[in-house]
A and B are shown apart, each in its own frame.
Chain A
Amino acid sequence: MGELELRVAVRGQRSVAVHQYHQGALRVLRPHYLDDSGQVCYVVVNPGGAYLGADLFLLDVEVGDGADLLLTTQSATKVYRTPGSFAEQRMDLRLGEGARLELMPDQLIAYREASYRQRTSVTVRPSSSLVMAEVVTPGWSPDGAGFRYQEIRLRNEIRVETDEGTHLLALDNLLIRPPAGDVTGLGFMEGYSHLGSLVVVDARVDQALADELHALTAGHDALAGVSLTRPAAGTTGLVLRALSNSTGELNSLLAGCTNLLRERWQGQGPLNLRKH
């Protein structure tokens, strides 16, 4: 079990936490500022090191009007055996007017006999800016074979809230269930081992940007696709999906995309977390 609440707001030139609460096996490290943009970076830590059966992790994060948060993890999310049960992470994210969130966790590794459900609900305003990246590995078992986990569900629901009402912008629901059949082949993993995903929601997202990011993926050893979501309340989402054979290749592809957005929209340099 673990619970984490974090509320970030603007104070002067910088974004700072105005509320923090944690309980159980989740906490954040001391905040740091990676550049002079005022963006605050928090690193989520799971001192237990892993998710186990029936574990429930709740994260509740709010980025206030105009605030800017980079949220990452200290290390990979590891899900071990969850016999007859599943480990679950529920994350609620709320972005205010002009607020920005970059959510860049380390990769997810589900080991043999692991079941994992991750549900992320995001509410943005039309003027918010959201970037979420994720990498899922095949979770090698001791005998070297991949895809020995029971099930991975990664569900992102993104809503746009205005004073008139709330619109469902994207429902991104990924389900990989190796025992149900061959998940490695055509239509599924296409012979690749790793899956990368990038979701961007911003009023500046358009077809030209989707095409540009797609062109950028061509320089990587990966099979990737990019498409726009439906528009809602003046904003649009973009989803990039990529298959490859290593975490490093996908991280570099996703970093290429997110760094392009940092440079273009914020005038910020490439992200360097210096974790490893």
Chain B
Amino acid sequence: MSYQLALQQLVDSALPTGAFAHSFGFETYLERGLVFDEAGFGVWLSAFVSQQLTYSDGLAIRFLYEGGDVVGLDAALSASLLPRQVREASTKMGLRLLEIGAEVFPSAELELYRDLVTTGRAAGHQPLAFAVVARSLGVPLQEALAAYLFATATSLTQNAVRAIPLGQNAGQRVLRKAHDDVAAAVERVAHLTPDDFGAVIPGLEISQMRHERQRARMFMS
């Protein structure tokens, strides 16, 4: 039980990492009129969780837990997040998480990662900052993964509720359905190999790239 409250604080949507400002390409679908309701957003969220979030963030968290070198993993994320805004979102939120973590959950591992970032040897990605803190708190990998993936789904759903807009209850129904995708993702992450790291699906990636040139936008990614 020792880490339960700490984990809840770490993945609470009130944690000020700036997640409200990022749609990870979802806004491009909104603008093209392809996602406009609860069902459509559910399809998008399912693709995002089961693909990008699984193969990039989820796998990065697992590799860090297994003792992977944080510098190498940080560089691999910077290289594999090809849409510029997604890469920037990951490090923007990562840097905030590193700051907050240093205030409330300090550890030697976190100090090391922060030091690598401040000296320019690492970019500071959100999943790695999260994994460093969660691991230092003694959160088991499976729990950490589920919490991270579901927290991301939650902030994206809150963003969709505002942007589409959806009713609050519709948002909760989408999140309930996301349980299955998150559980499947946690299971899949355990079986992936280094060759799978950073695998993307083309449509998501193109929408994230196209967001850079969208005229009117609420979100930074």
Contacts and interface: CB of A to CB of B under 8 A. Distances in A.
A9 interface: no
Nearest to A159: B79
Interface string A181-203: 00101111110000100000000
Given A153-B195, A171-B79, A176-B202, 18 more contacts: A167-B75, A168-B78, A169-B79, A173-B55, A173-B199, A174-B201, A175-B199, A186-B47, A186-B203, A187-B47, A187-B203, A187-B207, A188-B203, A188-B204, A189-B203, A211-B213, A241-B202, A241-B209
A173 B82 CA distance: 10
A78 interface: no
A79 B84 CA distance: 33
A172 B82 contact: yes
B198 A243 contact: no
Interface stretch (A51-59, A125-133, A222-230, A261-269): A222-230
Interface of A: 153, 155, 158, 167-176, 183, 185-190, 195, 211, 214, 223-230, 239, 241-243
A45 B206 CA distance: 32
Given A187-B203, A225-B205, A229-B79, A171 B212 contact: no
**Looking at chain B's contact residues, is the secondary structure mostly helix, strand, loop, or mixed?**
helix
Contacts of B35: 186
B79 A176 contact: no
A190 B203 contact: yes
B92 interface: no
Contacts of A230: 78-79, 87, 123
B197 A190 contact: no
A172 B202 CA distance: 11
Which of A176, A223, A227, A243: most chain B Cβ within 10 A?
A227
Nearest to A158: B79
A186 B82 contact: no
Interface in B164-220: 195-210, 212-213
Contact of A188 (B47, B78, B213): B47
Contacts of A168: 75-76, 78-79
Which of A158, A172, A214: most chain B Cβ within 10 A?
A172
A253 to B, nearest CB: 13
Contacts of B209: 225-227, 239, 241
B43 A176 contact: no
A176 B201 contact: yes
Given A173-B197, A211-B213, A225-B83, A190 B76 contact: no
